[in-house]
Homo-oligomer: A and B are copies of this chain.
Amino acid sequence: MDHLFFVVLNIIGTFMFAVSGVSVAISKDYDLFGIAVLGFATAIGGGTLRDMMLGVGPVSWMSDYATIITVLVAIIVSSLFLGYIHKLGWWNIVFDGAGLGVFTLVGMQKGIDHGLSPLVCVLLGTITGAGGGVIRDVLSGERPMLFQKELYASVSIAGGAFYFLLRALASDRLTWHWQAVACIVFIVALRVIAVRFNWSLPRIRAHRSG
């Protein structure tokens, strides 16, 4: 495994998710500390949950300066330039999708490193990718985004399936780096398309009589 490649991916995902937490905290009029906490929890929440479930401790951000420094920089930058960030409009979906894609990939790879089955690896990827947002929502008293209309975590699951498909079919033609990049691009593209066309999954009507 290429360590530097992973470090860079982790920094990108961490930055994107910290910005998302800061953005929610400011919209709720939290103080500076609340902003920092929500940025931090969103950025490291999914990976922390994943590492605790894997029994890997201390969890990764504790022994890894890059993550903490990235979170601090992201909190400061996004607090100062939130107006500009909001003006980016559609790009925010792309950036957040990049965070989701990167963390999904990192989570899956950790599962593979632990010798877990592909299904469990995909779930670990989704927990890593969507877990931070769920923690952000629970802490800030929102209904978790998992249960909102737009596709989000399902995009991560689809991306995970795509990644294992690539590994099975194309591992002799694509290096690991390109498989990873393809998986992330797939997730970003699927997320953007899902938001653009307002895709949603079907429901089951309650109280129906079988």
Which A residues are closer than 8 A to B by beta carbons?
Answer: 25-35, 37-38, 48, 51-59, 61-63, 65, 68, 79, 81-84, 86-87, 111, 114, 116-117, 119-120, 124, 134, 138-141, 143-144, 146-147, 149, 151, 153-154, 157, 200-210
Contacts and interface: CB of A to CB of B under 8 A. Distances in A.
A56 B59 CA distance: 11
Copies in the complex: 3
Contact of A210 (B33, B38, B81, B157): B81
Contacts of A52: 52-53, 55, 57
A31 B201 contact: yes
Contacts of A65: 117
Nearest to A149: B31
A38 to B, nearest CB: 8
Contact of A53 (B59, B111, B114): B59
A95 to B, nearest CB: 17
B120 A31 contact: no
Contact of A35 (B25, B79, B204): B204
B140 A147 contact: yes
Nearest to A32: B201
A139 B207 CA distance: 22
A77 to B, nearest CB: 12
A202 B27 contact: no
